[in-house]
Chains A and B, each alone.
Chain A
């Protein structure tokens, strides 16, 4: 049966090539947009380098002091993370790092912009950076306040040229000489919480990291023993925050949560509007915007094509085909069409992604079509095919046999 439908569908597609072209153009172009978007989102959200243990991690990147008339949001202080966040009972390790900030260095009369990040020793255990050479700095080195650093692959190239072994060499940043202990694989800047060019021990920070206020420029990642511990840790963390003494009379509560990765990257810092719902709404509006017109267009074309086939439909009805069977046939035909368009769309998006990667709009962000993207594409195709096929199929099934046969 399906083979028959398939044969008919191909025959129909071949009959009116212009209409086929319009349909395929609309479907493939819509799917290309959605696939490129999906590739980008799955890459930014789903790529788990360097935080491979993401499912066991909770992220703390924002604290808010709230009062009836005032609100003061920012990152956290080192002291808050090292002292209060560490005080809860369950977690095993806590990675602490400053949000990346910029500075410059000048080599051979050339300027290099440098993003730097201060970290603690657990940072290297919680996250799994891939070391191309050397190793991370140790807790002992941090305690001694040694001027050591881990640099990124890009930084090695920018500062040392094509040298392959730079461990033990010195790099100057912010007017200070640091000894390189290791080189790690690049992280794309879209992973803004973890991205940096050079990593430095927090003890060499020029700012006072012992400041006892809650707010500062740091973020923390709590690594749990197992995934099942996460809800418990979140609860303990909230209880700890609720017990914190308020720093000023104008505030009546503190808002700070340990959230999952997704919650953390879209954290807008507003407790009332979660960043996640804003992101999903924006995505839904864009999807509707992209899908609505091609769907309408396809419905239009489909109806036109059905009217063209009224004699065929009339004959089938006259020989006893039920409306249901006709609707089913038409939906299958339409799905075949959308899947064909989907295939073309995948080819297009592969080309576009290759161009985007080649032009390096975002350095180190290698976009690709992966299983996740393909599944999303398939789902979009099916939805697209069904939505654009249902109304025309219904119209077709209601065609009057006599009129349909008479039309010819």
Chain B
């Protein structure tokens, strides 16, 4: 049976090679789109790792007029105290520009057991950072007031960095970094998706700023009480502007930034999805038309088969099987190309993403071909042998 179908396909190889190419290209397009969708969905379904609502971010370019670290730290401590005296302000922390959804990154690396660990997001985190973002602590503890006395610089890392450094082993109390600059892990927090909710969380370490770093800070994260309005924001703005006389200040809401950060991923996906949706409709119509025409041309052959005893279901089954076999041939070639992505690790995505995308694309193509060949097949089954043979 299968051999027979192959012969039928081979006999019309010119026409079928074009159909095959079309199915192959459709498959590759679908594979690309599904890879993107699966990747984004998997990231989206993971927990965010922090709470964005009611967090305001103030950016300022403050010129303190001093290079003294202690007085800079004191200045910001003072500002924080004034801000906290407003009843709606729950937590204030000063940090670098790499706040969630800001698009800014600051990365670093350190050696661990002779291996260079790179691309670690570096967050300057004051004691109040955890409360401002409501980070979820998984193990150990967050920074405390008397941290400065410790011999090794204490750091908090996220789960992803923990897995890369220690695997399933113990993280707390471990020393990382080179001899000159040793750091001790005191806590592990849940991964935070800082880029946007559709992108994976990066490796991260949180480090307590020492006084020399306050000089360069230009961002404050402020957790406010739910329902704080623009009138209050105006008051807060005035308070900051009157303290930092030489600064341009901008207050944004993490909630708004989340929307625009998500859009940087969502908008291209939606555009690409719509375009490929139309492409697939286009292909489906074309496939349907060509199959339909082919079957009409084979009325003589079909009539003859009916005359020698083939059932209607047998005929339509054969035609559908022929189309599916053709799709399988295209898929085999397509899978050969697609499988190179996980094998060669081209785009640095997890293998699971590719496999799911591959599965979805295969199922989709089969479904498409099946739907497009069912109606022509059914029509062929309705051919009366007497009429068909009479025509010839």
Contacts and interface: CB of A to CB of B under 8 A. Distances in A.
Interface of A: 18-19, 21-22, 25-26, 29, 33, 101-104, 106, 109-111, 113, 116, 174-175, 206-208, 289-290, 292-294, 296-301, 303-304, 307-308, 395
Nearest to B288: A22
A290 B274 CA distance: 11
A300 B22 contact: yes
Nearest to A289: B29
Contact of B289 (A19, A110, A208, A395): A19
Contacts of B166: none
A300 B15 CA distance: 8
Contact of A111 (B26, B234, B286): B234
A345 B237 CA distance: 51
29 contacts: A19-B293, A21-B285, A26-B286, A101-B248, A102-B250, A103-B248, A103-B249, A104-B249, A106-B234, A110-B230, A175-B237, A206-B61, A206-B248, A207-B246, A208-B63, A289-B275, A290-B275, A293-B29, A293-B282, A296-B21, A296-B25, A298-B286, A300-B18, A300-B19, A300-B22, A301-B289, A303-B18, A304-B289, A304-B293
Q: Which of A19, A103, A207, A307 has its CB near the most chain B CB atoms (within 10 A)?
A: A103
Interface in B245-266: 246-252
Given A175-B241, A303-B18, A294 B282 contact: yes
Contacts of B283: 293, 297
Contacts of B233: 104, 106, 111
A297 B242 CA distance: 67
Contacts of A296: 18, 21-22, 25
Contacts of A101: 248, 250
B304 interface: no
Contacts of B279: 290, 293-294
A300 B14 CA distance: 11
Contacts of A103: 248-250
B230 A111 contact: yes
Contact of A206 (B29, B246, B251, B286): B246
A355 to B, nearest CB: 13
B370 interface: no
A116 B289 CA distance: 58
Given A21-B285, A29-B278, A103-B249, 13 more contacts: A25-B281, A25-B282, A102-B59, A109-B229, A175-B241, A175-B242, A206-B247, A206-B248, A289-B275, A293-B282, A296-B22, A297-B282, A308-B293
B289 A293 contact: no
Given A25-B285, A104-B250, A293 B290 contact: no
Contacts of B308: none
Q: Which of A102, A293, A294 has its CB near the most chain B CB atoms (within 10 A)?
A: A293
A297 B248 contact: no
Q: Which 10 A-B pairs have the closest CB atoms?
A: A106-B234, A175-B241, A297-B286, A109-B231, A111-B230, A102-B250, A22-B285, A296-B22, A26-B282, A103-B250
B238 interface: yes
